[in-house]
């Protein structure tokens, strides 16, 4: 087992990475202060991992709420079902919520923990690659609105993140690919050597070799932990982790949440960001092609939906959380391994990238 620490002073917490961690009672018991827990999961993950999780919690009073799977259910209506379960089962302020699932469950359970009785503890137990490398770390919790993704939420850090890489064995290929988009993002934004390592280990990654996946997840989590410790509330460097997300969130909202997976939309969004960088002279076209090739190796889209034009992107991008003083700001690569935040993109340039 590998352990990383997210350094946030008194709110510091561990990230555990390894095989069979769902069965490690000591990890759960070390992170739970009281005797009552509420497991939040979905109808895909629960049949696979709920009983193993409950067995590790046999010294606690355990309740559960099982939601339908999918991004389209990440909304206030299903968020309210979590709150109703907590209230019906008379959970108090010393309750701990356990998010057992992918990014949707982690975001919704974390937001419920942030809101219930003005804030209770929660633990992330991510079961998808995307959640393991990205959304489970850093305390960003939210639900979607019809007009924009993650527009209703809170920063609320977990007590621990328990990453059992064995869960990847049951992950659908499309979900695995979606997670790889976020993995590749870390290489583009912060770590050229890691990007090269990904290029050199495509077959081993696809084969889910335990030592390879442990290294991959640890490398991503280490980057995320460092960034969160420096900029918890996304006022500076943490915003760079949103590479591709301004375009990607627009794709998700326009296509209907869940029709394009988050990672698929981010992949296409990263290519658009790279093309914008090339247009502005920040990178050359060979770097754009290098990014496209790696994404393609992991079965990810490199083009936005053909049905989306400039105006359909703009409807959603104007609601992006990085808009400041009415100006759209874009995370753009200046090299593989280095990005910056730019607010000088003209409408003509943006239209050119989207429509060509």
Query: Which pLDDT belongs to residue 345?
Result: 92
Q: CA-CA distance, 118 to 293, in Å (whole number)?
A: 46
Q: Binning pLDDT at 50, 70 and 90, where does residue 235 land?
A: confident
Summary mean pLDDT of the chain: 95
- The conformation of residue 12, written as its DSSP 8-state character, comes to -
Question: What's the mean pLDDT in 272-288?
Answer: 97
Domains defined for the chain, CATH in brackets = 2-170 (3.40.50.1970), 173-355 (1.20.1090.10)
Instruction: Lowest mean pLDDT of 200-204, 282-286, 320-324, 346-350, name the range.
Output: 320-324
pLDDT at 324 over 80: no
Q: Binning pLDDT at 50, 70 and 90, where does residue 51 land?
A: very high
Rounded to two decimals, the pTM is 0.93
* Main-chain dihedrals φ then ψ at residue 22, nearest 5 degrees: -60, -20
Q: Binning pLDDT at 50, 70 and 90, where does residue 323 land?
A: confident
The DSSP secondary structure of 201-270, one letter per residue, reads: THHHHHTT-HHHHHHHHHHHHHHHHHHHHH-TTSSSGGGGGGTTHHHHHHHHHHH-BTTB-HHHHHHHHH
Query: Which pLDDT belongs to residue 326?
Result: 74
Query: Which pLDDT belongs to residue 148?
Result: 85
Query: Which pLDDT belongs to residue 127?
Result: 98
- Catalytic residues, by residue number, are 118, 140, 182, 224, 234, 238, 242, 245, 249, 262
Q: Binning pLDDT at 50, 70 and 90, where does residue 34 land?
A: confident
pLDDT at 223 over 80: yes
Q: Binning pLDDT at 50, 70 and 90, where does residue 327 land?
A: confident
Residue pLDDT, tens place only, 130-176: 999 999 999 999 999 988 889 999 999 999 999 999 999 999 999 99
Question: What's the mean pLDDT in 184-198?
Answer: 97
Q: Binning pLDDT at 50, 70 and 90, where does residue 320 land?
A: confident
């Amino acid at each position: 087992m590998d352990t990383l620490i997210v350094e946030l002073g008194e709110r510091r917490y561990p990230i555990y990475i390894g095989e069979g961690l769902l069965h490690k009672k000591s990890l759960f018991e070390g992170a739970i202060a009281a005797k009552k827990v509420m497991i939040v999961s979905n109808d895909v993950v629960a049949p696979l991992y709920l009983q193993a999780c409950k067995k590790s919690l046999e010294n606690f009073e355990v309740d559960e709420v099982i939601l339908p799977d999918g991004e389209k259910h990440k909304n206030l209506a299903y968020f309210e079902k979590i709150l109703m379960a907590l209230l019906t089962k008379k959970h108090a302020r010393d309750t701990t919520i356990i998010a057992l699932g992918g990014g949707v469950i982690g975001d919704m359970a974390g937001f419920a923990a942030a809101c219930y009785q003005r804030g209770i503890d929660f633990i992330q137990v991510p079961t998808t690659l995307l959640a393991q490398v990205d959304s489970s770390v850093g305390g960003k919790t939210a639900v979607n609105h019809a007009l924009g993704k993650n527009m209703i939420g809170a920063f609320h850090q977990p007590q621990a993140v328990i990453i059992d890489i064995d869960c990847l064995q049951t992950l659908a290929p499309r979900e695995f690919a979606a997670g790889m988009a976020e993995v590749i993002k870390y290489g583009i934004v912060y770590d050229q050597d890691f990007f090269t390592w990904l290029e050199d280990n495509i077959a081993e990654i696809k084969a889910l070799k335990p030592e390879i996946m442990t290294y991959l997840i640890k490398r991503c989590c280490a980057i995320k932990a460092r960034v969160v410790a420096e900029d918890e509330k996304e006022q500076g460097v943490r915003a760079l982790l949103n590479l591709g997300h301004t375009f990607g969130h627009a794709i998700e909202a326009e296509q209907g949440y869940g029709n394009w997976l988050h990672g698929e939309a981010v992949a296409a969004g990263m290519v658009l960001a790279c093309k914008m960088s090339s247009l502005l002279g920040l990178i050359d076209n060979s770097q754009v092609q290098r990014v496209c090739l790696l994404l393609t190796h992991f079965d990810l889209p490199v083009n936005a939906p053909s049905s989306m034009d400039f105006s359909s992107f703009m409807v959603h991008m104007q609601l992006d959380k990085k808009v400041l003083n009415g100006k759209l700001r874009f995370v753009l690569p200046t090299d593989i391994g280095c990005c910056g935040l730019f607010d000088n993109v003209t409408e003509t340039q943006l239209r050119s990238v989207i429509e060509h």
